[in-house]
Amino acid sequence: MVSRPCVRRTNAAIHSRRPSAGAAAVPVQPGHGAIAMGPYTESFYDTSGKLTLSQLPPDEAQWTTLGTRMAIFGRGGGAGWLRMRVQNLSPQATVYSVLDLGTGVQDFVDLTVLDASGAVVQSWATGDRLPFGTRPLAVRNFAFAFQIPPNSQVTVYARLGTHDGHHEIIHPVLFSNASYASHMQSSNLLWGLYFGLELAAVAFSLLLWGVMRQRAFGTYALHLGTIFLWQFTYAGFAFQYLWPNAPRFGNQALVGLIALLYTTALLFIGSYVKVDTQTVLMRRLVKWLIVATLLVLVPVALDRYALSIVASGAAGLLTCATLIGVCVYLYRRREARDLLFLLAVYTPVMGAGLVIYLNVLGVLPSNSLTVNIMPYALSVQALLLVYGLAAKTRGVEVEAQRAQRGALALKTQTAHYLEEQVRQRTHELEDANKRLNRLSITDELTGVFNRRRFNLDLHEAVSRHRRLGTPVALALLDVDLFKRYNDRYGHHAGDRVLQGVALAVGSHLMRATDHVYRIGGEEFGLIVHAHAEPEQARAFFERITRGIEAQAVEHEDSPLGVITASM
């Protein structure tokens, strides 16, 4: 909701002004300062857009002096012409000057310097529809450096062409070389401070969104980031540094970012008033408004710049209407804090737009404040938005603390009952945890420990053996030809065999530190700590295998005819 308005007048309105008798030449001397060229500039509108410099009307009555106004050539397929004369009053020194047109987004700019005899001294052809390298000075605005010999006069003609009928506002200012360098330094410093503030606000909002996960912070960061990108593009920095060889994309980005700016504004307003919790009608209205603003991207994609400007203006009106509607809604709900916040946030931007319009109409003078007021207003908006969102979050925290104190009082009143309930639930939870722990280390089929417990006990046994030298024996037991048994007798019979093997092995373990584990399929593991010599451990394990064989479980596919196991 923060685009600098491009006020247009029809060609008829421009030429209906009282014709001038010709603007006087601006007198300059070496080292002159910044001179607003409005009172010294004449304008002429070529409706056909085909006239050349030699074909321009010589009659002064057909030229109009700008006065204190900026040049506004309306909307149409013609070309605007500016003429200004510069007189060097010094009898000996050459004056070196720079003419800045005050914009960097005019489609086509042809500038020609003529001497007193009418001969061409210098000429340039540039514009934001041409690569950035065509500009005579590598700066964000259209700026042209030329010189005026001692005690002589030059005439400067500027032809302003358009791609599809959209002319930008021109605010010509004449500088000396030194004053222009100083102007650019101070201007870039101010823009740098503004962009730094915007990026800091974006980063702060993203930080708050990441911590608090409140949607308003995220949509605001998106909205503020879009404002930053649009300002960076409109001011000419994006064309200079990001896509100097892509002028068409630069024009599409300029208007496309306006559409995204309005879209993110609607998203922010919707999230701030929590439109998802409001009526169905309000939710649908905001969604359709967002779709309408995104439709501006259609003419943008087709490179219809003039149509895109008109569409973005309509989107801006819809966004402003939405803001007014939301304010009325908040007023009726008596939500004074949110109402005052939204009014405080967007009033500076709307006020800045009014100042720019009044400046264009000549009501207010052209100076650094009236020309560059929008970045100042956007900076104030960024600070107010961050403060307002933080204040609203603080209000939510205060309400949460109040509710917490109420809950604490209720808890105090029923402390004994709650403590008993907590104690009972804690005991049940402990029992459940114990059962869960047992289940996590127990084989469901055989009831012995599983592979998870085997890995833990084996690691502990080996560590203790290394540390203390205590004896430990490990054996892996496998039921012989178990797959054939399953195939012949079925899986249920196989399960009973595994249960019997686990029972037979367990019956030989007499110490609490000795365990049997089912570690997979028909494979079992044993860890015992009682035998100091390997021969004793081996004999012990052989007794276990004989015990399994002694169960005499029939196995016709086995050479021995019964279930056996191998260690």
Instruction: Give the type of residue at 288.
Output: W
Structure tokens at 20: 């001038």
Rg of the chain in Å (alpha carbons): 43
By CB neighbour count within 10 A (0-12 exposed, 13-18 middle, 19+ buried), where does 105 fall?
Answer: buried
- Give 17-76 pLDDT, tens digit per residue: 333 346 789 999 998 999 988 889 999 999 888 999 989 888 777 888 877 666 677 667
Residue 150's pLDDT is what?
95
Structure tokens at 325: 């509607």
Residue 135's pLDDT is what?
94
Closest to 171 in 3D by CA, of 72, 27, 97, 96: 72
β-strand partners of 475: 526
Instruction: Give the type of residue at 278.
Output: Q
Which residues in the chain land under pLDDT 70? 1-22, 68-71, 74-75, 273-283, 285, 305, 330-331, 333-346, 353-354, 356-372, 382, 385-400, 410-411, 530-532
Q: According to the 3-state scheme, what is the secondary structure of 141-203?
A: CCEEEEEECCCCEEEEEEEEECCCCECCCECCEEEEHHHHHHHHHHHHHHHHHHHHHHHHHHH
Q: Name the CA dihedral angle for 557, 561, 562, 567, rounded to a multiple of 10 degrees.
A: -80
Neighbours of 327 (CB within 10 A): 18
Residue 108's pLDDT is what?
94
Degrees (nearest 5) of the Cα angle 65, 69, 74? 85
By CB neighbour count within 10 A (0-12 exposed, 13-18 middle, 19+ buried), where does 400 fall?
Answer: exposed
CA 532 vs CA 388, 470, 505, 525: distances in Å: 77, 8, 20, 19
Structure tokens at 57: 């009307």
User: pTM here?
Assistant: 0.60
By CB neighbour count within 10 A (0-12 exposed, 13-18 middle, 19+ buried), where does 491 fall?
Answer: exposed
